[in-house]
Amino acid sequence: MSYNLLKGKKGIIFGALDEKSIAWKVAMRAKEEGAEFVLTNAPLAMRMGEINKLAEACNAQVIPADATSVEDLENLFTKAQEILGGKIDFVLHSIGMSPNIRKGKSYGDLNYDWFLKTLDISALSFHKVMHVAEKQNAMNEWGSIVALSYIAAQRVFPDYTDMSQAKAVLESIARNYGYRLGKLNKVRVNTVSQSPTKTTAGTGVGGFDAFYDYADKMSPLGNASAESCADYCISLFSDLTRMVTMQNLMHDGGFSTMGISEDVVEMINKQS
């Protein structure tokens, strides 16, 4: 159902790879709510993914940008403002990648060059996005910037390896840049900490199916779907949440507040 929550708003959406991507769902909902936006992804991912299909469905243009390259981001923000005919109201950072996870490296055996790559792609890129937005004075007053995070920033999930540090840095950048952009022109910055979700990035983490099921059984509402995550992001881009900033917002069906649940006890009892 559409509420016209983003009518007249202009945005940039990073990270739609295929139909399972959280960014894909956000783009579809943003369109439904009346927003105009450009889509972007790393040049390589664009060749592998299906972003043009989404662009057609949303009547959006695609601008390639490697989010670790300030030059690419400068080009992206310049072109996005030209295409959309004005400053930007919302940005979704939906980017994550760890070469160590891809290569199945355990936490005690990380490749440090790859660790730095993980941090650059999954966390520093968020700083770079806001740095470019600030330098170009590209954000409208009361704009909203959201990045997606995961609870491994606070708790230990062994198979999430160096992405845990990346998410901790990402959330810290949201607080620190949130202060800066809030003072500068009332732009808010938040991270949404999402339940395990069956996407390319999600299912690439070792043991994903087990911790997906575990989180689902622990959460009184069950795991939050990609679609519900999109709904939440839309609310954060809308004018209904103008005073929410510098927060890491749990979107996890209640998981983060649980100790143990009856469903998990039952599962363990069945096994033993």
Ligand X SMILES: NC(=O)c1ccc[n+]([C@@H]2O[C@H](COP(=O)([O-])OP(=O)(O)OC[C@H]3O[C@@H](n4cnc5c(N)ncnc54)[C@H](O)[C@@H]3O)[C@@H](O)[C@H]2O)c1
179 is catalytic: no
The residues facing 61 across adjacent strands are 38
Among 164, 197, 219, 248, binds ligand X (CB under 6 A): 197
Measured distance CA(78)–CA(135) in Å, rounded? 11
CB of 203 vs ligand X, minimal distance in Å: 8
* Choice among 150, 177, 214, 232 that is catalytic: 150
| Candidate segments 20-28, 129-137, 175-183, 242-250, binder of ligand X by CB under 6 A | 20-28
Short-list 117, 137, 124, CA closest to 172: 124
The reply to whether 17 sits near ligand X by the rule CB under 6 A is yes
Write down the residue that tokens 């199945």 correspond to. Answer: 104
Least distance CB 155 / ligand X (angstroms): 13
Q: Which residues pair with 248 in a beta bridge?
A: 191
Closest separation in Å from C-beta 16 to ligand X:
6
Q: How many chain residues interact with ligand X (CB under 6 A)?
A: 27
Q: Distance of CA 102 to CAs 37, 71, 158, 163, 252, Å?
A: 31, 27, 15, 11, 25
The total of other beta-carbon atoms located within 10 Å of residue 239's CB is 11
Q: Which residue is nearest to ligand X (CB)?
A: 202
Going by C-alpha positions, the residue among 146, 106, 117 that lies closest to residue 42 is 117
Which residues pair with residue 117 across a beta bridge?
none
* SS3 at position 211: helix
Verify binding: residue 95, ligand X, rule CB under 6 A. Answer: yes
Binding test (CB under 6 A) with ligand X, winner from 140, 200, 225, 235: 200
- By CB under 6 A, tell whether 38 contacts ligand X: no
For residue 148, state whether it binds ligand X (rule: CB under 6 A).
yes
Within a 13 Å sphere around the CA of 64, how many CA atoms are in the beta-carbon half? 9
Residue 45 or 187 with smaller CB distance to ligand X: 45
Which one of 160, 177, 212, 214 is the catalytic residue? Answer: 160
67 sits near ligand X (criterion: CB under 6 A): yes
228 sits near ligand X (criterion: CB under 6 A): no
Q: Is 160 a catalytic residue?
A: yes
Distance CA 6, CA 89 (A): 9
264 is written with which tokens? 């998990």
Query: Which residues are part of the catalytic machinery?
Result: 150, 160
Binding stretches for ligand X (CB under 6 A): 14-15, 17, 21-23, 41-42, 45, 66-68, 94-97, 121, 148-150, 194, 196-197, 199-202
